Amino acid sequence: MNEDILRYPIGQFNPVTTASDEERKSYTKDIADIVPSLRKIVKDFKNDQLQTPYRSGGWTVQQVVHHMADNDVNAYLRLKRALTEDEPMASSYRPNLWAELSDYKDTPIEISLGLLEALHHRLINTIHGLRPTDFDRRFNTEVLGWITVDVAIQRFIWHNEHHTAHIQSLAQRMNW
């Protein structure tokens, strides 16, 4: 199978720079659908399936799920800072190194799925309270440079759908 398809099963992130009110309203539904979709895929996975990399040289399913939770925690905090501070410099982290820590190996994925549910609930409530001008607030990152709240939310959704697609694609290829 083509390596690019394995790495980017839904394509690379392509932001909508001027999202409409309708597109913004869809954000909360998209976020609310993430964990149920992920749970549906992994609900019957056995331990050996959770320890299977989604592609050669890639993370295991378990590492991907824990990464999704860690990434969302970081993204949520960056977003909250952008909403409450004037153009903050957001911290970054090293996900490849985080994926090698013992919690990624020793923690059941249910813990991260619960964290994702709670965090997504909080994010949805935050988005519901945003004024149109709040979507234009921005923050700076080492990796992405300047990013608006609007694009950060889009990226948040894409990132989760991207990794869910990694796991779904593996399950399909393996006939799980």
pLDDT at residue 165 tops 80: yes
| Tokens 């921005």, located at residue | 138
- Share the mean pLDDT of the chain: 96
Question: How far is the C-alpha of 28 from the C-alpha of 20, rounded, in Å?
Answer: 14
pTM of the model: 0.95
pLDDT tens per residue across span 100-144: 999 999 999 999 999 999 999 999 999 999 999 999 999 999 999
Per cent of the chain over pLDDT 90 is 93
Give pLDDT, residue 4.
Answer: 80
pLDDT at residue 67 tops 70: yes
Give pLDDT, residue 3.
Answer: 78
Stretch 38-46: mean pLDDT:
98
Domains for the chain: give ranges and CATH numbers: 21-174 (1.20.120.450)
pLDDT at residue 1 tops 80: no
| Tokens 């990694």, located at residue | 166
Dihedral sign for Cα 152, 158, 161, 165, please: negative
| Tokens 């990794």, located at residue | 163
pLDDT tens per residue across span 140-160: 999 999 999 999 999 999 999
Beta-bridged to residue 152, according to DSSP, are: none
Residues 14-17: contacts with CB under 8 Å, at least 24 apart: 15/151, 15/154, 15/155, 16/150, 16/154, 17/151
Closest CA to 161 of 39, 75, 66, 34: 34
Question: How far is the C-alpha of 86 from the C-alpha of 138, rounded, in Å?
Answer: 8
Give pLDDT, residue 12.
Answer: 95
